[in-house]
Amino acid sequence: MAQERLTMRKIREVLRLKWECSLSNRAIARSCSISHSTVGEYIRRAEEAGLSWPLPDEMDEDRLFELLFPKPPNPGSRVIPCPDWSWIHAELRKKSVTLRLLWVEYREDHPTGYGYSQFCALYRRWAKRLNPSMRLTHKAGEKVFVDYAGQTVPIVDPETGEIHQAQVFIGVLGASNYTYVEAQWSQELPNWIGGHVRMFAFFGGVPEIVVPDNLKAGVKNPCRYEPDLNPTYQDLAEHYGVAVIPARSGKPKDKAKAEAGVQVAERWILARLRNRTFFSLAELNHAIRDLLGPLNERTMKHLERSRRELFELLDRPALRPLPEQPYVFAAWKKARVNIDYHVEFDKHYYSVPYTLIHEEVDIRATQSTVEILFKNERVASHPRAKSPGRHTTLAEHMPTAHQKYLEWTPERLVRWAQSIGPHTAQIVQALLDSRKHPQQAYRSCLGLLRMSQRYGEDRLEAACRRALPAGIISYKGVKNILEAKLDQVEPEEPPAVVPDSHENVRGQSYYR
């Protein structure tokens, strides 16, 4: 089931990149970590099903799966004529001749021949041994290459004198080499995402494709063949309508622009700042901006134009407009709904509809909001809370009849506790009474009762008997008693007070 859900997410992303971003099948394949023939197959099935982008709001993942993958008919036997790949390869060198044109001519001669995606895949497989290397040509507004410089810049804390090495984020547009540079405290995800937001604002538009290196903050699984993006990075890509295609491991040509941009920034910005001492990140970024303008204005000898001139001529007209609002950083997390129909994020518990108990959901959290999504559909939204260990519960998420829908009820927990002992039952009842909604205490009660499996019912009852007089009514308190084996030690009786015998000590009868 989880694999099927992952497949449907990738299909949605393929359709978005094809119909919204107008990318080629090969570019979509690299962005989604699948083969280009699979991309062609998904698009063909979507076209045959009469789908368009955006997909209808009422279409869930199950309905989309039925439309794209209907039950296949009984396979028939037919012989597919194979094209003459040598002739096709020679024809492609002629002006204005494309693979689609050659495929149309092939299908005119062989109406039952290969489909277009299979035709292209077979040709490229045949041509690999003929053309192992190809020089990359960057189209206007198509790609921006992003990376961190290997060189860092020291920042001195003016109070302690401690030195912190600032990281340098660099973005380079493919067609014009127009460059963006900024300093950051680290290469962690919030800085990585923030660098992209400020870079797009600096360019005044958005390219079609972002090409990062296999940085941990951006690429969750830096596999050469199937790199998986960080969910937050994917969220940013969807907000700006771009495709993220990580550079392949061991393929320096994929990120040649980024490496050249890093080299230029190190030589013409960082090297010129080598003898300066900075006491804040803002001060360093101000100095970088002062040198970034002249860098983009410098004439490049091999092109006889500056980066800014080429940017105004090529990239700026081709960039797509920025969205109305910049992207707001959001952290993502997978969670499974507990029996109390709450999920945990940053040590706080948020409610979801009770029908999702035991289901796996995605949590998307910004500075102000926590959203819970199930199968890419938002099922709950809460203001983000800062109180650890507390619950945020919406009344509409609660079941109308707990005994009908929930596996656990307060009565069942109390009955379990009574089977262990009266003191255990008292603590369980106190935990349930301490919360506005009893379901919020289910985790603590279950944790308490399940300690009987590890320590035995007798020891748990003894620990609860010792905890009650001390006012300890919590899972952690009872656990600490068991771990310290205090339940096996008899409490000490306070010593009896015996009055001293002395001539100056007045007895009880003196005051009568």
Q: What is the CATH number of the domain that holds 239?
A: 3.30.420.10
Between CA 464 and CA 482 the distance in angstroms is 10
Is residue 142 within 8 A of residue 208, CB to CB? The reply is yes
- Same domain? 194 vs 110: no
The range of the structural domain enclosing residue 392 comes to: 331-401
Q: Which helix (H) or strand (E) holds 175?
A: none
Number of separate domains in the chain: 4
Look at residue 326 and tell me if it is in a domain: no
Whole-model pTM: value is 0.54
Q: How far is CA 237 from CA 13, 32, 211, 450, in A?
A: 11, 12, 11, 45
Residue at 380: amino acid letter: A
- Same domain? 107 vs 171: no
- Same domain? 281 vs 365: no
Look at residue 511 and tell me if it is in a domain: no
Between CA 356 and CA 379 the distance in angstroms is 9
**One digit per residue, pLDDT tens: the chain, 512 residues?**
555 666 777 888 888 888 888 888 888 888 888 888 888 888 888 888 888 888 877 777 777 787 887 766 555 556 788 888 867 765 665 556 688 888 888 888 888 888 888 888 888 887 776 434 333 456 788 889 999 998 999 999 988 889 999 999 999 998 888 999 999 999 888 899 999 999 999 999 999 999 987 665 545 444 443 445 678 888 899 999 999 888 766 555 556 777 888 888 888 898 889 889 999 999 999 999 999 999 999 888 766 778 998 899 888 988 999 999 999 888 888 899 988 889 998 889 999 998 888 899 999 888 888 999 998 888 998 998 888 888 888 878 877 654 443 557 788 888 888 898 999 999 899 888 887 777 778 878 888 888 988 899 899 999 998 888 888 888 888 999 899 888 887 766 555 555 555 555 555 555 55
- Same domain? 178 vs 111: no
- Same domain? 103 vs 182: no
DSSP assignment of 360-397: EEEEEE-SSEEEEEETTEEEEEEE----TT-EE--GGG
Bridge pairing between strands 209-212 and 243-244? parallel
- Same domain? 277 vs 340: no
Between CA 374 and CA 397 the distance in angstroms is 14
Bridge pairing between strands 163-173 and 143-148? antiparallel
**Which residues in 307-368 belong to E strands, given as ranges?**
331-336, 342-345, 348-351, 360-365
Between CA 341 and CA 358 the distance in angstroms is 8
DSSP assignment of 437-470: SGGGGHHHHHHHHHHHHHH-HHHHHHHHHHHTTT
CB-count exposure of residue 487 (10 Å: 0-12, 13-18, 19+): buried
